[in-house]
Structure 1
Amino acid sequence: MITRRNLLIGSVGAVGAFVMPAYAHDKKQFKIDPKFEPQSVRYFSYPPGTIVVDTKNHFLYLVQSFGRARRYGIGVGKAGLSLKGEAVIKRKAEWPSWRPTANMIRRNPGKYRKYANGVPGGPNNPLGSRALYLYRNGRDTMYRIHGTTEPSSIGRSVSNGCVRMINAHVEDLYERVPLGTRVVVL
């Protein structure tokens, strides 16, 4: 017999399972290095509101005030596959759909050709729970700051060029930045 108490406990459990970060469900129980957890750090290089992506050190900084930034750990592109320079966030999406670029399919057809028509948004989508689309001179660069289904890639250079974040971390960033945010990729 379903009681009000059992229904309430089941509902809370279902909601809790839905909002848990993707890495909490990883079969290997992935544990992120604490230095890649979001944290406030000293940072002086750019004006407040700017996102700075430090590909060499695997950090993304959201400059919050002069001298302070919120730092996140990231995974970045393999050598030669990263965006460099400046861009602007012109589009944001929750649970975005994904389609590999023509270059990805060309580089690795065995892995990507089957996804040529795209993958709908959801927990198994490579872009994860959120995506910030980077534009330059009004044109889509095809690079994104997005979540990931591979949390072990944080702190590594393994992607096809986009900036990967733990889903819970990209959700936090997504809420903090408006369209038009300047992004500097070092």
Structure 2
Amino acid sequence: MILSNDFSRRAFGAMLLGSTAAACAPQVPLSEPEADLPAREEWVEGYEPLFDSGYNLPGIPSRYLEGVNRRMTGVYQGEAPPNSIDVDPYAKFLYHVKSDGTATRYPVGVGRAGTSIRGRATMQFKRKWPGWTPTQNMLRTQPEVYGDFRAGIPGGLRSPLGARALYLFRNGRDTYYRIHGTNDLRSIGNSGSAGCIRLFNQDIIHLYNQIEAPMPVLIRSPAESLRVDPENYNRGIELPPTMIPAEELLGPEAEANDRPPVFDELSPGMI
């Protein structure tokens, strides 16, 4: 892909729209009998089903990747330094800013109003297939939501942190905010988490493979978002905070099925 120096925000979106329909790959073969196969899906390139570290990740259906809601690379227009991560929680994008003046942009889901981290932080370390444990603040303020998960959820297809997690620190201390994968596809491009920054699992794996810790992270303020990307300011909707039942994530059938949890149309998950 050839990039020009005058690659504007609007061109960023236009190139994305132009490439979405063209860059598709066939569905990987399945082992089930032909009569049980679902309708054939033409996967968008980069979002196909993926076998990763012993886990089978499902592909991302194209309906979740429409418009600007997919990964692409272009000339960086923001205000973060090279070799850093720039998160716009209002436009719902994360940028991996590179030393050559380009950036890879990923769509993200972010926290509900008043729950997200702001300002500068450091991605101190990163993990593959991380487990998750609710913070003491989560347990104290919402025991009815998080109490059943006090002991945590092990890494794997059912972990709310998905396939990868980046751990954000400030002044040497853990903020307890993460940049991580998710199985809740509808949340990407919207607000609904308890504050963390979510990516499609395919995107967090792609980002993870491009970066090294430690790395500076900027989470834009409303003024920064409006200054840099007014076209996409406040895109998406705020989703209601509903829960996946504990028995679906922790019960014996969870390990036996070895599949991601099923989210309904109103379920943005836990974190």
Query: TM class, shorter-chain normalised?
Result: 0.7 to 0.9
**Shift of the alpha carbon at 1:90?**
1.1
Partner in structure 2 of residue 155 of structure 1: 189
Partner in structure 2 of residue 35 of structure 1: 68
- CA deviations over 1:132-159 (Å, ceiling 9, x no partner): 0001111110000000121110011100
CA distance in structure 2 between the aligned counterparts of 1:101 and 1:66, rounded to whole angstroms? 38
CA distance in structure 1 between the aligned counterparts of 2:89 and 2:190, rounded to whole angstroms? 9
Alignment of 1:18-33 (within 5 A): 18-19=51-52, 21-24=57-60, 31-33=64-66
Contact 2:92 2:108 (8 Å CA) reproduced? yes
For structure 2, list consecutive stretches of 5 or more residues without a partner in the other structure: 1-28, 32-48, 221-271
CA distance in structure 2 between the aligned counterparts of 1:166 and 1:23, rounded to whole angstroms? 10
CA distance in structure 2 between the aligned counterparts of 1:185 and 1:21, rounded to whole angstroms? 28
Contact 2:50 2:58 (8 Å CA) reproduced? no
CA distance in structure 2 between the aligned counterparts of 1:85 and 1:120, rounded to whole angstroms? 30
Partner in structure 2 of residue 166 of structure 1: 200
**Shift of the alpha carbon at 1:167?**
0.4
**Shift of the alpha carbon at 1:112?**
1.1
Partner in structure 2 of residue 176 of structure 1: 210
AA matched with 1:39: M
Contact 1:130 1:170 (8 Å CA) reproduced? yes
CA distance in structure 2 between the aligned counterparts of 1:23 and 1:116, rounded to whole angstroms? 31
Partner in structure 2 of residue 72 of structure 1: 106
Alignment of 1:9-158 (within 5 A): 18-19=51-52, 21-24=57-60, 31-44=64-77, 45-65=79-99, 67-158=101-192
Secondary structure of 1:103 counterpart:
helix
Q: How much identity, in percent, do the aligned residues show? A: 42
- CA separation of 1:22 and 1:138: change in aligned 2, threshold 3 A: farther
- CA deviations over 1:40-67 (Å, ceiling 9, x no partner): 1332322221100000100001112454
**Shift of the alpha carbon at 1:163?**
0.4
Q: Which moved more, 1:41-50 or 1:136-145?
A: 41-50
Number of aligned positions between the proteins: 171
CA distance in structure 2 between the aligned counterparts of 1:76 and 1:107, rounded to whole angstroms? 20
Structure with the largest fraction of strand: 1
Give RMSD over aligned pairs: 2.1
AA matched with 2:205: E
Secondary structure of 2:127 counterpart:
strand
TM-score between both structures, scaled by the size of structure 1: 0.84
- CA deviations over 1:57-90 (Å, ceiling 9, x no partner): 0000111245421100000011111101111111
CA distance in structure 1 between the aligned counterparts of 2:66 and 2:113, rounded to whole angstroms? 23
Secondary structure of 2:64 counterpart:
coil
CA distance in structure 2 between the aligned counterparts of 1:119 and 1:17, rounded to whole angstroms? 22
Contact 1:92 1:130 (8 Å CA) reproduced? yes
Contact 1:47 1:66 (8 Å CA) reproduced? no
TM-score between both structures, scaled by the size of structure 2: 0.59
CA distance in structure 2 between the aligned counterparts of 1:51 and 1:91, rounded to whole angstroms? 13
- CA separation of 1:39 and 1:17: change in aligned 2, threshold 3 A: closer
- CA separation of 1:66 and 1:131: change in aligned 2, threshold 3 A: same
CA distance in structure 1 between the aligned counterparts of 2:205 and 2:174, rounded to whole angstroms? 21
